[in-house]
Copies of this chain bind each other. A is one copy, B any other.
Amino acid sequence: MNLKQRKLVTIVAEAALEPRLIRDITALGAKGYTISPAHGAGPRNQRNGDLEGGNIRIEIVVNNDVMTKVLELLETNYFPHYACSCWVSAVEVLRDERY
């Protein structure tokens, strides 16, 4: 079984940001994404996503290069302006040409 290393980037943000996040992430090289509905709270104790359509949880599986670009994007254009959470983990995939 020939597994290849990738990074899973999980982003939680308000649902209204979905079209913009998808456009930005795709432009940086992510070849796909998975979105689940979510709600929650962040460190300032905001209960985000309980109003106005909830939160979304976006997952992308990407190489290190795209991961770095996505994190730089979040740091520059999202974290200063929006309640937004992000974490990265190591994953393995079978069909590396897809990620």
A88 and B98 contacting across the interface, CB-CB below 8 Å: no
Q: Which of A87, A89, A91 has the most CB of B within 10 A?
A: A87
- List, in ascending order, chain B residues with CB within 8 A of A6's CB: 87
Smallest distance from the beta carbon of A90 to chain B beta carbons, Å?
Answer: 7
Chain A interface size range? 35 or more
Q: Is A86 an interface residue (CB 8 A)?
A: yes
- List, in ascending order, chain B residues with CB within 8 A of A35's CB: 38-40
Q: Is A42 an interface residue (CB 8 A)?
A: yes
Closest to A39 in B: B35
20 contacts between A and B (CB under 8 A): A8-B87, A8-B89, A22-B41, A32-B40, A32-B41, A32-B85, A34-B39, A34-B85, A35-B38, A35-B40, A36-B37, A42-B98, A43-B98, A43-B99, A79-B94, A86-B94, A87-B91, A87-B99, A89-B89, A89-B91
